[in-house]
Structure formats: structure tokens, C-alpha cells
Structure 1
Amino acid sequence: MAEPQTQLPATFIDWEPPAPPTNLIFDDGEPLESNRHRIAMNALIRSAQQALAGRSDVFIGGNMFVYYSSTQAMNRDFRGPDFFAALEVDGSRERKGWVVWEEEGRYPDVIIELLSDSTAAVDRGVKKQLYEKVFKTQDYYIYDPFNPNSLEGWHLEGRSYQPLTPNENGWLWCEMLQLWLGTWEGAIDREPPTGTCHWLRFYDPQGRLVPLPEEAAQQQAELAQQQAEIAQQQAELAQQQAELAQQRAERLAARLRELGENPDAL
């Protein structure tokens, strides 16, 4: 006996899943907490790009919205990370923000938040929980650009964040980027106007500071200058040696002439 066929309601047959929101906002119009926060964010972005310049599968962003659900898109209930990095993605594609459903479900692998008095509680609480439980971001750090002793970091182990232990320099290891994260004392982009302050910077596995692009250019210029000076010194030395050889040849020729004119001088 044939099984009776179940006829689906027309409303069920015509149903389609709701499309992701398209009216996303990528600029909230709010400035960063201070000029130092802006410079600190840009320094992290530029140095990370410098360190990973040989890779095309990395996207580095900052102060950009990370959209992960339609509910969040409508509520706009949190601001984007100050710095984030996503690995094994198309690093060449231009983005106004990080939209998870347009990134094959990928979330940032590394996030850094720059603390201020108005954001510290959220960065340590709500955001940390979000990055841990929803984003499952592997490495998360917080730092106050006005407090050199404020660096904290966590690495995701299993389902929970575990605090990172600093090395003897006070730096924290970033497993995903294979770089150290630590402070550096100096001035960047004329900030502060006088004296120095402590910036959060990347260091390579050997402990060498990852330069900003302008620092790398300055280093290359200084190296080229040193090489030019060495080449000049070598040329001057060669000239001196040539002159000395010429003087010796002239003395020898003079001595031979003297011997030829006066054999008794032997």
C-alpha cells in the first residue's frame, strides 16, 4: 500500500531564510579617546603590517566594526576593536568593516583594545566575554597608552581565556602572530610633544623591535649611508695604497739609476 503523500503548505514551500542586513554602518562618527590613542592604534596596525608584509593571507584592521549577527547589526551594541588581525583570509580585499557572514564565518584571531577611563570596565568585562565566548579570538590584549604597567593578555585554551605570563622584559607572547607584544619608550608622530612615553609595540621572536614603515626607511637610509661611507673609506685606502706603491716604485727607480751611474755604490 503506497504511503500517502504529505502536501506542504504553500507558505512553507515559499519560505526563504532572511537575507543578511545590507544597511550596515561602518562609521559611528565618534573620535578616539585621545590623540595618543589614535597614534597608538595606527602604530600597532602599521608595525603588524610591516612584520607580516610577506604574507598575503592576513588582514590587519583597527577601529572598525566587526559585524557577527543581524541582531548586533541593528542594535550596534558595541564598538569595533582598536586593533585586530585575521589570518588565512584574503588580505588583498578592501573592507569597510569586518562582516563575519561575508568572511566565511571567520572572526579575528587577535584583538587589542586600548583602555581609557571610560572603556576599561567594558574592555575587561563585556568585550572580553564576547571575544572569549562568541568570537573565540585566540589572543586578546588590553593596554592603556597613559599607563606603561597596564598591559594584560589572554590566550584561549579550550573554551576559556587563560592569562599570559610576561617574560623578563614584561612582554607578552602572541601565539597567532608569532610576535612579542611589549612597551617601547620614545616619541611617535611628535607625540608627546616633549619627552617620551611608552607605546605598545611588536617585537620579533628574537626580541628585535618591529619597525614602523618610516623607521624601516630611516634604517635603510642609515645603512645605505654607512655603506657609502665604508665604500668611500675603502676608495681612499686604495688611493693611499696606490700612492704608496707609486712612491716605492719611484724610489726604486731612482736607486737603480744611481747604481747604474755609480757601480761602486754596490
Structure 2
Amino acid sequence: MTLVKELEPTQDIQEDVIFPPGDLYSDEPPVESELHLRQIILLLKCLEWLWRDRNDFYAAGNLTIYYSPNQLKSEFFRGPDFFVVLDTERKTRKSWVVWEEDGKYPNVIVEIMSPSTAETDKYFKKKKYQNTFRTYDYFWFDPYRLEFAGFHLVDGKYQPLEPNSQGHLWSQQLGLSIGIHQGLLRFFTPEGQLVPTPEETAEFERQQKELAEATAASERQQKELAKATAASERQQKELAEQTAASERQQKELAQEKAEKLAAKLRELNIDPDTI
């Protein structure tokens, strides 16, 4: 997003202030680069896929947050690059209008920095999210320099988050870690596993299916080989038995011939031992 001039902290809104209609369209400028767009889409896609069975949250990117009637008098404030609101209805919205959402502000905000927005994200927006939004978890990320930092609201003040051994920062609100993976921010489970996109899940399932099919084919081949080996062993055993039987028959036949010859010689009064 472009460098923005933040609104000055507004005075408490009087009870008789008339709020504008809540059906307000988002009024955000285009994202600054393709990389910014890919990063926003990636965060949105991963979280919605992970929480596909949940209906108690709202996540969006590059969407205006309307939080004060005074804000409508200024064109300078721009919404977060990515934010998540918990304990709310999961439905499509034109914008996030706080006074139409039971006063709820984002629980988590991520700003994707660029040279033109870094100062705003680090100072002005950080102050706005701390003091006005009271957003519990705030992160900023520079996809070009891979600068990444996060903060958690403690007693009304942002305290820096300490990275774990993998360099990830814990989001208490999401129950997930956020860290850099292949040059972009990704979500990680408490166990440190990468939260996949739907496409990555499909690819993983395809690979698992191919692996299962290859394993099954290998097992079939092993089974067939074992059968062939067993059949060969049976054939070898039968051949050995046949050979042994043939040798016994040959031996018996030779012995029988010898005995007949000896008997014939005795009939002729010839001593067989003299032959």
C-alpha cells in the first residue's frame, strides 16, 4: 500500500453522534506489487483452508476497516494488508464496519511493508493498532528484505514477540506460529508443521496415493516373486525326489541283474567270485 497519513487520535465519540450507514464499500488502493498480492492471498488461502470447518471468524486482505464517523472525513487512513477477526460470523463483506460488528476490531493484523510504507507500518499504524484498535497480535513483514517482527498487546502496550528455535513468532490469538518459508510468510502449527495451501494438500495427497500404489505394486511383485520362488523350490524338491527315486531304481535294477547273474553262474557250478 502507499504511504499514508494517519488520522490524529479522535476524541471520544459522543452518544448523540449519528453513525453513517454500515453498508460501506471498501476504499483501498491497489496493492503495490505482485509480491504483495501473492503474500496476502497466501495468508488468506492457508488460514481459510486450515479453518474450513469453522464459521466463527472473518479473514480478509486489503479491505477498509471503518471504525469512526470522523474517519469518513479523511481519505488518508488505509486498512491492514491482512487481518483476522475472531468470534464473528464467517460471511462475505464489502468492508469491515466496526459499529455494525458489535464493536469488534481485528484480533490479528499483518502489514506487508515496502520502502514507501515501512515508517507508517512501524510507527503510525503500530500506534493506531495499539491504542485505538487494541489488536492483540500485530506483525509486519518486508518481503524484499525479509524483515519480520511481531508484537502482542500486554496491559495496553505492544511487547515484542521472541522467535522460537525455527525463527517463528507465536500468535496467541490464532493458536499458530507465523514464520518465513521460501521468502514468504506462512502459518505453522504448534508442532512446527507448515500449514499447507489447498493445492499443496492436493499435491501431497496425490504423492501419497502414488506412493501407496507403488507400495501396493511392490508388495504384489514381492508376493508374486515369493510364489514363484516357492514354486521353484517345490519343483527343485520334486526333481530331487525324482532323481533320488531314479537312482534307487537304477541301483535296485543293477542289484537285481547282479543277483540273477550270480544265480545263473551257480547253476553252471561257476563261482561268481572267480569272475
TM interval, short-chain normalised: 0.7 to 0.9
Q: Distance in 2 between matches of 1:58 and 1:216?
A: 22
Compute the RMSD of aligned alpha carbons: 2.2
Q: Distance in 2 between matches of 1:170 and 1:241?
A: 50
Instruction: Trace 1:1-266 onto structure 2 (pairs within 5 A).
Output: 18-22=18-22, 24-28=24-28, 30-91=29-90, 93-148=91-146, 150-185=147-182, 198-258=183-243, 263=248
Of the structure 1 ranges 47-56 and 152-161, higher mean CA displacement relative to structure 2 is found in: 47-56
Q: Distance in 1 between matches of 2:152 and 2:51?
A: 20
1:237 Cα shift?
A: 0.4
Specify the SS of the correspondent of 1:209.
Answer: coil
* Identity within the alignment, %: 35
Q: Distance in 1 between matches of 2:206 and 2:72?
A: 47
Q: TM-score, normalised by structure 1?
A: 0.81
Q: Distance in 1 between matches of 2:244 and 2:23?
A: 102
Check the 8 A contact 1:21/1:73 in 2, yes or no.
no
Q: Distance in 2 between matches of 1:37 and 1:136?
A: 25
1:258 Cα shift?
A: 4.8
Specify the SS of the correspondent of 2:170.
Answer: strand
Structure 1 23/99 Cα, relative in aligned 2: closer, same or farther at 3 Å? closer
Q: TM-score, normalised by structure 2?
A: 0.78
Q: Distance in 2 between matches of 1:23 and 1:179?
A: 32
Check the 8 A contact 1:21/1:70 in 2, yes or no.
no
Could you report, residue by residue, the CA deviation over 1:160-191 in whole angstroms, capped at 9, with x for unpaired residues?
A: 11111122332211111111111112xxxxxx
Larger Rg: 2
Check the 8 A contact 1:110/1:176 in 2, yes or no.
yes
Structure 1 79/17 Cα, relative in aligned 2: closer, same or farther at 3 Å? closer
Check the 8 A contact 1:68/1:100 in 2, yes or no.
yes
Q: Which runs of 5+ in 2 are unaligned?
A: 1-15, 253-275
Report the residue type matching 1:113 in the other structure. E
Specify the SS of the correspondent of 1:106.
Answer: coil
Specify the SS of the correspondent of 2:119.
Answer: helix
Structure 1 214/23 Cα, relative in aligned 2: closer, same or farther at 3 Å? closer
Specify the SS of the correspondent of 1:173.
Answer: strand
Structure 1 248/100 Cα, relative in aligned 2: closer, same or farther at 3 Å? same
Specify the SS of the correspondent of 1:125.
Answer: helix
Q: Distance in 2 between matches of 1:170 and 1:79?
A: 29
Specify the SS of the correspondent of 2:126.
Answer: helix
Of the structure 1 ranges 254-263 and 94-103, higher mean CA displacement relative to structure 2 is found in: 254-263
1:39 Cα shift?
A: 0.8
1:238 Cα shift?
A: 0.6
Specify the SS of the correspondent of 2:58.
Answer: strand
Report the residue type matching 1:18 in the other structure. I
1:20 Cα shift?
A: 3.3
Q: Distance in 2 between matches of 1:72 and 1:238?
A: 74
